[in-house]
Each structure stands twice: as C-alpha cells, then as structure tokens.
Amino acid sequence: MTPDGIFRPSRSSAPIRDTLLSDDVVARRPWLQRAPRLGVYGWVILLILGLYLIRLLQLQFLERGAWQARAIQQQSRLIQISPPRGIVFDRYGEVLVRNIPAYNVTITPGLLPDDEARERAVLMRLAQLLNDPDIPYSSVEVLEKPAYRGETHSVARAQYPPFGEAPSPGLLEMINNVRYLEPYEPIVVSQNIERELALLIAQESGVTLPGVDVAIIPRRSYTYGPTLSQILGFMGAISPEEQADYQAKGYNTSEDQIGYTGIEYQAEDYLRGEPGRKVIEKDVLGQELQVLSETAPHPGDNIYLTIDTPLQVVAEKALTDGLQEAQLKSPEAQRGVVVVLDPRDGQILALVSLPTYDNNIFNKKVDMEELQKIQDDPHRPFLNHAIADQVPPGSTFKIVPATAALQEGVINRYTTVNCPGRILIPNKFVPDDPSLAQPFYCWINLQSGGGHGPVNVVDALMHSCDVFFYEVGGGFEPDEFKGLGINRLSAYARQFGLGTETGIDIPGEFGGLVPDPTWKRQTYQETWTTGDTYNVSIGQGALQVTPLQMANALAAVVNGGTIYQPRVIHHIADAEGTMIVPFKPEVLHHMDIPESVWQIVREGLDLAVSENGTGQRARLDDLGINVAGKTGTAEYCDDIALKAGRCDVAEGETLPTHAWFMAYAPFEAPEIVVVVWIYDGGEGSVVSAPVAHDVMDYYFRRKLGLPLEGELPVEGETPAEGNPAPEGSPAMEGTTPIEPAPATP
C-alpha cells in the first residue's frame, strides 16, 4: 500500500490477483464458465439453419418442378383405354372374328350404403342375382352353417367347399380387401354374365343396388366356331407370370386379354392396336374429380386370311363323313386332317383338324366340366393335328425315293424291278439259312398273295409297289442292285422339307423326324441296318411327318421343286383399309432337279388315279378334271394302340394303320394340292381318297359354276349364273393381285 492509502499490486502479486478475480467472477458470474461451449452451440445452430435455408432454396427453386409433378401425380391417375381389337376376314372378305360386348359386374366400395345392415342387404341381393356357387355373400357365412356334401346356401346359393378346403372369397371379403385403400376404385366381382342378367342388375343398380354397376367390355365372337378354331385360336386373361411384361407394353393386365393360340396369338401385335390414355384428377379417397387429358385409342389392324371358308366347311364335312365310315371298322378312328394348298405360292385354302373345339366357350364364363372333357380326350381337340401330329407317312413318302433315285442315276424311266410279293434279307451270321432270313412284304402279298411282277418307277408309283422301293432305297444283294442308301435318301427327304418345320404362320408346329445312322446310334446305341433303310423307303420305321409337310412335299413335285413357306395370313391392313403387310410368297428353297425327273414322277401319280391305280376313288371324270395322287397306308403303334393291345401281331400280320391320300388337280395346270390323313383309318385308297374327291369336286364345281351337292339350277339361269365361283375380295380392292408362279405339268 502506498502512503496515500491506495493499494497498488506489484508484479509479483499478479497470480494472486488473477486467482482472486477468477474465483470472484466465477462465484458471481457462472455464465463466464460456459462461454466457450455456448459459442460452439451457436455455430452449430447457425449451421443447421443454414442447411435448412439451403434445402428450402433447393426445394423452392431447383426441385420445384419435380415436386409439383409428384404432387400432381398423387392427385391424378392414368387410365389405359383398351383399343378395339382388329377383325379377321377370310380370302373373300367374310368376317371370321368380330368384337361383341360382354358384361362384368363391378362394385365400388365407396358408393355402398354407410349403414352396415343396408350394405349387407345389397351384397346378399347381388349374390342371389348372380347365383354363382363361387361368389357367396361371405365365405364366413358359409362356414357358419352346418354343411353336408352337396348342400347349398339358402340365400347366396353357394356350394359348400369340400372338407379341408378353404372357401372362395365372398363379396364381403372382396370389398374388405380394398375398402380402405381405394374405395372409389371399382372391383370386378363377376365376369361374362348373360345379357339379360346384366340388364336386370343395371336396372337395380341405382335403386336397390347402390355401388353396383355393369361394365361393358369387348369380347371376341368366332363366326364359324369349331370349323376354324384350330386356325383362329382364342383369347384369355394375362397370366400372373406374364403381367409385368405385358404391363410394360401398355396392357391393362386386369382387363385386357391376349391371344393364346392360332391367329389370335400369331398376330397379337397387329390385332391389339394402340391403347388410349386418360388422366383424371382424384381426391384423397380416389374419387374422380375431373379429366385432365385424354387420348383416344387406335383400333387394331385387320387380318385377311388365305382361307377359303366355304371350302373349309365342305372339307370338314367330308372328313367327318370319312371318320364315320372308318369308325365302322375301328372305333379309334376319331382323328383326321384335310390340307388344301395352292402349290403355286403356298397359300393354305383349307386346314381342317378333327376333333376340334368351339373357341366361343372362352367368350363367356368357362364351363369347367366341358373344358375338362376336352382336355381328357385322348385325341386332344386343342391340338392342330395338321401341323402337330408326327406320324409315319406310309406310301405317300414314295415320291421322295422315286425322285432321288431318278436324280442320282440309281434308276431311269425304264429300270425294272421284279416284285414277287416279298423279299428276304439273309441273316448276316447264317447267310445260307433262308429260315433265318428277315422277310419284307409287299402290301399286295398280304392282301391277296403273289406280287406285282416286273415294274418300273411309273408302275411302282401307280400300284404303290413296296418291293420296288425296298430295293431302290436299300439295294438288294442277291441281284447286286445298288440302292440309294440311307444317307442319300435322308438328304433328299430333308430337301423335300421333311424333318423340320415348314414355318407356317400359326403356332404349334412340329418338325417330324428323318432318321439316319447317327440318329439311331445316339438314340438307341444301335447300328443302322438294311432293314431300317427298307422301312424308311416306304415311309415306315422311325420316319415321322406332319400332314402339312406332305402337302408341301407334293406341292414341290407339282411346281418343279420349289418349297414355299405355307401361309395362312394373306395380308394385313389398318382400320382405314390401308395395306400394312402385303402378301408375298416366301420361297424356302428350290431343289435343283431337272424337269424331266419331275415329269416321270408326275406320270406315276397321274396313272395312280386315272388308270387302275390305287387312287381311283378320287377321280373327277364327270367334271372333265384330271386328278393325280398317291395313296398311303401307314402302320403305327402309339400309346392308344398299346393300351388297347393292338401292337402285338404275328408274322404276316399288320399293325393298325393310318389312312393317307394326297392329290393335285388339274393334272395339266395344277391349282390345288389336297392331303387327307385319318388316324387308324385303315387303307388310304378306301377311306381317305373319297374325302379328297369330295373336296376337289366342290372346288371345281364351284369354279365351273355347276350345281353343288344338294342344289339345283335356278329356273331361267344357266349353271354358271347360278353358282359363280367367288372372285376376289373386298379387302383386296385397290391392290395389285399376286400372280402365283406357274406350275409345269
């Protein structure tokens, strides 16, 4: 302390001063102790506020458009409007498939009465009207009742489920599943109801059935039903496994249907059209407020087929009559095919496959009992047997070894082979013992004994001599006759289009089988033998073809070696009639074989019908039309024959046989090829040839304007005026007709 009484701390007292001040300050001002932490907190708060401000600016300016769009999206809904499906016509412009209205019953949960009792009354009344065992008012209601097998609900008429099975969801369960999600979204509770019932429900919907409505949707109607079902196919709902794919293509997977088979499947992309789009604004409950935008759907394209519908109808009737005739000898003769083909360009004029089914059954609620009956049929009505049955062709195949042997120089027009009725292949281990030799018979020996005697290739085709083709195909050592051999024979068979799909423009085709040594070794681990070649040479053994393949093979003989892709679709036009896809014959390949070879083969086919050959029942002498053709009787053994015990036969006996016949006419300038195949029909010359006759008889009578079966000329008219052949098609007006390639007789 200074003399004046003022205390002045010295330098040495500074630590004491700081200590005193710090303690005093801390004691009197505790906030000074937290000052550093408050500063940190302040900066953190400023940082957070800054981030919020940046995010706010980002939302308000940078992402404003995206969030506005998302908000609108939440308030709006895109509705796909299914387009009218394209129509299918035949070659003359007749409608084969059209769209008709069908009726679905819908319920909008948000429009049902608020009162639980009134809602119950509405649902029970609807269940009573529908009278559908699968749609009771409530599955719980069903379970609460004492149930016995076959007992039904007295109000909803719902069948009690078998013991241990869960019941189908009732109307109440359907509604409760979506009641709080989108109450104003209609749900479909019954599909394809009858028109009268739809009118009744529509009348009551505004009074006793609030919230219930009837939606009109398009469905397909097939004019000729079973007659063309194998060609046209049918439509069905999109399966759950495919919904994602079709949804990406713009389909409404809950309502739209797709083609399952036939033209409906093949031309789906053309028939479907472009869907429309409607954007609506909705409230939080999903109720529609207004339409924001709408784009109309574009109808599907129209398909014009090569099918001659009147000829198809006649061919089906002729085949039905042929099957009935065959069933007198074999009850299993319930399957058959007729193919009518234009050999000049590959157009299919008729394609009949029996048994068949009515594709209109899928336009309404499917009768499961009827569907099961079709599926259980061993002859498979859903299968198009013209393109899917793989069977031995029998003697119709002989056009192949005849052509091959002539082309390869194995024989010529005058080469003669003696047919004693059977030939023997010596046992390679005991060649001198004839009792151990393997016999190969000609069909005439099995029927009447003896043989055809000396025959050349024309005679062999005319009389269908098996021995001739045994030796031509596989050779004959005792006579030192060298045949084609299996490698050359199988190569020519493939040139004729056998062993692979023809490429016809409807789905479900199979390729058949042309066997050879490699195939046998890989399949059975066995060596190929001469006997195998003999069997293939007459269309037997492991050789398998489809009826369409044989029609295409005969067409190649007719037109000079051109293999066309068979076509069912002629052309495609849009809804306004503008051509989109024109018809153009598609050549798969051309066989490099001189016309002289084809003439020899055609000569044999001509004599097979016009002279005392095996195909006499197909003659059209009364019309002045020359027909050429080839019969076939093919032994077979399949699951049906095995089950019936018909595959165990003794030596000299035959297995059950398919009946084949194929023909073309007129011989001088061929217009049509006809192939008839009847399962277990017996002899082709007896059963199938008359069917081909009836088909060709109608075709040429109509063309010549002569009275058709059961018709008489109208008084005062000439026959040509009474029954003119159809000329052209309204669908083809304004287009340049395609001239088919001329065939050389």
pLDDT above 90 for 179? no
Query: Would the pLDDT of 71 be above 50?
Result: yes
Q: Of 241-250, 272-281, 586-595, 714-723, which range is least confident? A: 714-723
Question: Mean pLDDT over residues 275-290, rounded?
Answer: 66
Q: Which of 74-83, 151-160, 454-463 has the lowest mean pLDDT?
A: 151-160
Percent of the chain with pLDDT over 70: 81
pLDDT at 215 over 70: yes
Burial state string for 35-53 with b = 16 or more CB within 10 A and e = fewer than 16: eeeeeeeeeeeeeeeeeee
Per-residue confidence band for 714, with pLDDT thresholds at 50, 70 and 90 = very low
pLDDT at residue 15 greater than cutoff 70: no
Q: Could you tell me the residue ranges of all domains in the chain?
A: 77-304, 310-722
Q: Which CATH superfamily does the domain covering 77-304 fall into? A: Penicillin-binding protein 2a (Domain 2) (3.90.1310.10)
What are the C-alpha distances in Å from 555 to residues 26, 338, 490, 564, 741? 115, 15, 19, 9, 12
Q: How confident is the model at residue 146 (pLDDT cuts 50, 70, 90)?
A: very low
Residue that wins the pLDDT comparison between 619 and 167 = 619
Please say if the pLDDT value at position 740 is more than 80.
Answer: no
Residue range 603-618, pLDDT digits in tens? 999 999 998 888 999 9
pLDDT at 479: 78
Per-residue CA distances from 177 to 74, 357, 544, 595 (Å): 21, 38, 55, 74
Query: How much is the pLDDT for 133?
Result: 67
Q: What does the pLDDT average to over 116-139?
A: 80
% residues pLDDT > 90 (the chain): 53
DSSP, res 26 = H
The band of 168, judged by pLDDT with boundaries at 50, 70 and 90, is low
- Residue pair 319/691 in contact (Cβ under 8 Å)? The answer is yes
Q: What is the pLDDT of residue 457?
A: 97
| CATH code for the part of the protein at 310-722 | 3.40.710.10
What was the pLDDT predicted at 305? 97
How far apart (Å, rounded) are the C-alpha atoms in residues 308 and 304?
11
Q: DSSP string of 536-588?
A: HHTT-TT-BB-HHHHHHHHHHHHHTSEEEPPBSEEEEE-TT--EEE-----EE
Beta bridge partners of 353: 337
The number of beta carbons lying within 10 Å of the beta carbon of residue 561 is 20
Q: pLDDT, tens digit, for every residue of 456-476?
A: 999 999 999 999 999 999 999
Angle between helices 195-204 and 116-130 (to 10 degrees): 160
Question: Hey, what are 235's tokens?
Answer: 């439509």
pLDDT band per the 50, 70, 90 thresholds, residue 99? very high
Given this model, what pLDDT does residue 368 score?
83
Mean pLDDT of the 41-55 span: 83
Write down the pLDDT at residue 303.
97
Peptide bond into 210 cis (omega under 30): no
Q: Is-same-fold flag (77-304; 310-722)?
A: no
Considering the entire predicted model, what is its pTM? Answer: 0.80
Distance (Å, whole) CA 172 – CA 344? 63
Q: Is 634 helix (H, G, I), strand (E, B) or coil?
A: strand
For 621-674, what is each residue's pLDDT tens digit? Answer: 999 999 999 999 999 999 999 988 888 877 767 899 999 999 999 999 999 999
Q: What is the mean pLDDT of the chain?
A: 84
pLDDT of residue 76: 61
pLDDT band at 300 (very low <50, low <70, confident <90, very high): very high
Which neighbouring-strand residues pair with 562? 590
Q: Residue 696: helix, strand or coil by DSSP?
A: helix
At residue 251, what is the residue type?
A: Y
Under 8 Å between Cβ of 558 and 743: yes
Does residue 96 have a pLDDT over 90? yes
